[in-house]
Amino acid sequence: MNFIVSTTTLLKHLKSISGVLSSNNTLPILDNFLFEIVPGQIVIHASDMETTVTTTVKVESKDAGSIAIPARPLIETLSNFPEQPLTFSIDTKVFGIKIITDNGEYKLTGHNGEEFPRVPKIDGASSIIIKTDVIATAINKTLFATGNDDLRPVMSGVFCQFSENDTLFVATDAHKLVKYRRTDSKAGQASAFILPKKPLNLLKNLMAGIDDAVNVEFNKTNASFSFGTTTVVCRLIDGKYPNYEAVIPKVNPNKLTVDRGTLIGALKRVSIYSNKATHQVRFKIAGSQLNISAEDIDFANEAHERLTCTYVGEDMEIGFNSKFLLDMLSNIESDEINIEMSAPNRAGIITPSKKDNPAEDVLMLVMPVMLNN
């Protein structure tokens, strides 16, 4: 069984799907790529059992069959070749692989492709079409707010909700929350699922720079994302997502508007002097002035900075975790941001002051930190 393929083409496809490979696989076969060869192309799979990524590469071949090829030595070998055609010659009886170039020959021992786990079939699937840029932006806006608590697995993923009016993506770890909504992306029927972190990171990397439509198919256990020559199939997180709307304060009479870049700079400087466990910074807002301060009593360190802002509401002092604030501010594009508050013990709502895209809504919530007066 033979096929001829370009070095750089094959390497590009292998690197794109290699993110799913795990260093501590329970099944040794998962340390391999599965090559399914059909006339004119190969379909390559990589998997960690929970998530499988598939890509299709055009090759010169008249044969058909499958072989599992060790992933690490194959990528390392291809990385050290200049661009040239490579001939793969496969002995299906002993699973021997020869990579033949004009100047040399390299031998690898593969494995029976039949031992590689099958890609799960998504029976009774619902499906929607959504643009790559919508999914990629939603992942960038929400992924940082997911949790890491093994006892609450539903909060370790992103909640995706589709309806006839909009598409909604929500992430929270109980300390911070992001709700990202698109009114230019709709589904024929209402549906929802929770996507785990790893496939989200894979999708973000695979979709970078691609402008395409994504066919999303899903049932209660699995979801599939197909675009271009790539398909990602992953197991969904089982469980009911928390009622996130209940924690978003509806009445926030105190509204602060401030330059985002200036606030990020001040927070980065002041937070160096904050307590290393709480990362607490204090906002003292009065009139058109925002005073940001932090102190670490253990080391007698403290810092203060004063910013000009626009503020409507009663004078107030409120504490926040500076790391959470910086994460959120880094994921908003607007030059100015609004922080809406009701009381020092209630969550603050962060939104962009202006929207570049009228079809896009982003709301970020951050829980306050108790101040030591």
pLDDT, one tens digit per residue, over 59-92 is 999 999 999 999 999 999 999 999 999 999 999 9
Predicted TM-score (pTM) of this structure = 0.91
Q: How many other C-beta atoms are found inside a 10 Å radius of the C-beta of residue 365? A: 23
Using the predicted structure, report yes or no on whether residue 355 has a pLDDT greater than 90. Answer: no
Residues 201-228 have a mean pLDDT of 93
Average pLDDT, the chain: 94
Q: What is the model's pLDDT at position 33?
A: 98
Q: What is the model's pLDDT at position 353?
A: 95
CA 141/CA 172 separation, integer angstroms:
12
- The first and second tokens of residue 236, run together, are 């969904």
- Give the list of residues 6+ apart from residue 108 with CB closer than 8 angstroms, or none: 69, 70, 73, 74, 96, 97, 99
pLDDT band at 23 (very low <50, low <70, confident <90, very high): confident
The one-character DSSP state at 229 is T
> pLDDT tens-digit profile of 272-300?
999 999 999 999 999 999 999 999 988 89
Between the CA of residue 351 and those of 88, 277, 325, what are the distances in Å?
54, 27, 12
Sheet hosting strand 289-296, strand order edge to edge: 301-308, 289-296, 280-286, 316-321
Using the predicted structure, report yes or no on whether residue 182 has a pLDDT greater than 70. Answer: yes
pLDDT band at 208 (very low <50, low <70, confident <90, very high): confident
Tell me whether strands 336-341 and 254-259 are parallel, antiparallel or unpaired.
Answer: antiparallel
Taken in order 54, 60, 66, 72, the sign of the CA dihedral is negative
Q: Please give the span between the terminal C-alpha atoms of the chain, in angstroms, as a whole number.
A: 75
Domains annotated on the chain, with CATH: 2-115 (3.10.150.10), 126-245 (3.10.150.10), 248-366 (3.10.150.10)
Q: What percent of the chain has pLDDT over 70?
A: 100
Rg (CA), the chain: 25
Q: What is the chain's length?
A: 373
Residues 36-54 have a mean pLDDT of 96
Q: What is the model's pLDDT at position 373?
A: 63
Q: Are 68 and 117 contacting, i.e. CB atoms less than 8 angstroms apart?
A: no
Q: What is the model's pLDDT at position 116?
A: 96
Task: Fill in the amino acid letter for 314.
Answer: E
Determine whether 32 is exposed, middle or buried from the number of CB atoms within 10 Å of its CB (0-12, 13-18, 19+). Answer: buried
Q: Are 108 and 73 contacting, i.e. CB atoms less than 8 angstroms apart?
A: yes
Q: What is the model's pLDDT at position 297?
A: 87
Using the predicted structure, report yes or no on whether residue 199 has a pLDDT greater than 90. Answer: yes
Task: Fill in the amino acid letter for 366.
Answer: V
Q: What is the model's pLDDT at position 371?
A: 84
CA 34/CA 110 separation, integer angstroms:
10
Q: How many other C-beta atoms are found inside a 10 Å radius of the C-beta of residue 218? A: 23
Residues 36-57 have a mean pLDDT of 96
Using the predicted structure, report yes or no on whether residue 188 has a pLDDT greater than 90. Answer: no
Q: What is the model's pLDDT at position 2?
A: 95
